[in-house]
């Protein structure tokens, strides 16, 4: 009897354990529906999915997830999906919060883009221009497409690109790819240079107003909204480099340019940055055009003229009716760094880089040109200048430039 009394006493000392509410048991899920449930998309396409979660008491909430692509919540029971850049089959999974085993799903088949079709006409209204590395082809981007021309100006090929605003175009260092960037709200397109077919190994499914390959071709630098990012050509990964000041992010087509030979620097309107780290080396305010010398001894901006990138000091210019400190919208240095071309309203100016002085040596004026020259590009050997004038592409020889 004594032993039994002790046992009863000890049992009475143990407090009762509280019961943890289990929503999966207390309010069991009766169904989860995702609409549409089976769709086909192309890389970069955007589609809204609605979902409904039902439970016995009606207190259930849900969240959506997918292995790739970009999801954005657009309502209490809807998400917008930007399709992954890599073709394949994906599952959009909607799961109950607190009850992860209760799920519904939709199947998304991302199909490769085989062709964009031909762009209309042979003479675009261009806003971007670039030479192929071997100097045989000129790529021109404009509203609605990208066009290829031979070095003599004859038409070669074209493809539709659904950009409605100003665009930029750049070649990869090996000439295998070219990238067309559009306004911030429009996606970038990586195309095979031979045939202008969309490159579907990976794709850049976010908009970029400017694009530039690293010198080894391993990364593609992109201006996306208020960020500078790097897209890996090896695996499609996106690396964040850093923010761009708000004033610069509103530029219609911020130009990304290579910096000194032997290193990689990226310039955006009004800023000079180190691409690998995003470290800002200098800031010049909001400008329309910018150029950097091959040896990084000077930077040319349309608003402030010439200055050294690391100290506040001006550099003089002479010999031209419209000096390099005046308004220009585009610029390009010859590969050897001796000639600088700038595009402004109605024409181009050419300057020779003579140490610390730029000397005006030539240029051209265009008849009936209502708007500015938005882009210029020297051929790899410096013998020709491709000009994206307000009406059409023009390829000027050194003789036509007065050199």
Is 340 within 8 Å of 324 (Cβ atoms)? yes
pLDDT in tens, the chain (403 residues): 444 343 334 444 555 555 566 778 888 888 899 999 999 888 778 889 999 999 888 878 888 999 888 898 888 889 999 888 778 899 999 999 888 889 999 999 988 777 778 887 766 678 889 999 999 999 998 888 899 999 998 999 999 887 766 778 999 999 999 998 876 556 778 899 999 988 876 655 555 667 788 888 898 888 766 777 888 888 777 788 877 665 444 444 556 776 665 566 777 666 777 777 777 777 766 666 677 776 666 677 665 555 555 444 444 444 443 444 456 778 888 888 888 888 888 789 898 876 666 788 888 888 766 678 888 999 999 999 999 887 788 899 999 999 8
CATH topology of domain 27-110: Immunoglobulin-like (2.60.40)
The first and second tokens of residue 115, run together, are 């062709």
Starting from the edge strand earliest in sequence, which strands make up the sheet with 314-315, in order? 290-292, 299-301, 305-307, 314-315
Peptide bond just before 366 cis, omega within 30 deg = no
**In the chain, what are the domain boundaries?**
27-110, 126-397
Judge whether 112 and 43 are in contact, CB under 8 Å.
yes
The SS3 call for residue 65 is strand
Backbone angles phi, psi at 219, to 5 degrees: -130, 155
The predicted structure's pLDDT at residue 119: 82
The pLDDT assigned to 49 comes to 93
Give the number of other Cβ atoms within 10 Å of residue 278's Cβ: 18
Can the peptide bond before residue 146 be classed as cis, meaning omega within 30 degrees of 0? no
Tell me the pairing of strands 78-82 and 88-96.
unpaired
Residue with tokens 């809204």: 48
Taking Cα atoms as reference points, which of 103, 64, 68, 95 lies closest to residue 83?
68
Q: How far apart are CA 230 and CA 291, in angstroms?
A: 21
- Predicted pLDDT at 91: 94
The fold of 126-397 is Methylamine Dehydrogenase; Chain H (2.130.10)
Which 8-state DSSP code applies to residue 132?
-
CA 254 remoteness from chain centre = 10
Strand order in the sheet with 177-181: 168-171, 177-181, 189-192
């Amino acid at each position: 009897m004594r032993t039994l009394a002790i046992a009863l006493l000890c049992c009475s000392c143990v407090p009762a354990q509280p019961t943890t509410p289990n929503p999966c048991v207390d309010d069991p899920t009766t169904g989860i529906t995702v609409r549409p449930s089976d769709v086909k998309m192309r890389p970069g396409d955007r589609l809204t999915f609605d979902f409904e979660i039902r439970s016995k008491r009606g207190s259930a909430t849900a969240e959506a997830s997918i292995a790739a692509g970009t999801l954005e919540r657009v309502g209490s029971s809807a998400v917008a999906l930007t399709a992954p850049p890599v073709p394949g089959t994906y599952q959009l999974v909607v799961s109950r919060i607190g009850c992860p085993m209760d799920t519904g799903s939709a199947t998304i088949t991302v199909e490769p883009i085989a062709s964009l079709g031909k762009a209309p006409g042979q003479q675009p209204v261009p806003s971007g221009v670039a030479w192929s590395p071997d100097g045989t082809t000129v790529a021109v981007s404009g509203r609605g497409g990208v066009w290829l021309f031979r070095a003599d100006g004859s038409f070669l090929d074209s493809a539709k690109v659904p950009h409605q605003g100003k665009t930029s175009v750049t070649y990869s260092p090996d000439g295998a790819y070219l990238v067309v960037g559009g306004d911030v709200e429009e996606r970038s397109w990586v195309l095979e240079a031979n045939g202008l077919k969309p490159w579907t190994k990976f794709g850049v499914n976010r908009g970029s107003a400017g694009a530039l390959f690293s010198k080894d071709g391993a990364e593609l630098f992109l201006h996306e909204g208020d960020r500078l990012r790097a897209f890996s050509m090896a695996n499609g990964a996106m690396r964040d480099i850093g923010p761009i000041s708000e004033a610069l992010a509103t530029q219609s087509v911020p130009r990304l340019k290579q910096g000194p030979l032997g290193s990689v620097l990226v310039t955006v309107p009004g800023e000079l940055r180190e691409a690998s780290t995003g470290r800002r080396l200098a800031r010049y305010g909001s400008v329309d055009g910018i150029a950097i010398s091959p040896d990084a001894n000077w930077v040319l901006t349309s608003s402030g003229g010439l200055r050294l990138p690391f100290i506040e000091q001006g550099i003089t210019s002479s010999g031209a009716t419209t000096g390099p400190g005046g308004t220009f919208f585009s610029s390009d240095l010859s590969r050897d760094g001796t000639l600088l071309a700038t595009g402004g309203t109605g024409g181009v100016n050419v300057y020779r880089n003579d140490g610390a002085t730029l000397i005006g040596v030539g240029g051209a004026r265009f008849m009936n040109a209502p708007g500015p020259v938005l882009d210029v590009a020297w051929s790899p050997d410096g013998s020709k200048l491709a000009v994206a004038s307000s009406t059409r592409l023009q390829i000027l020889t050194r003789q036509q430039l007065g050199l």
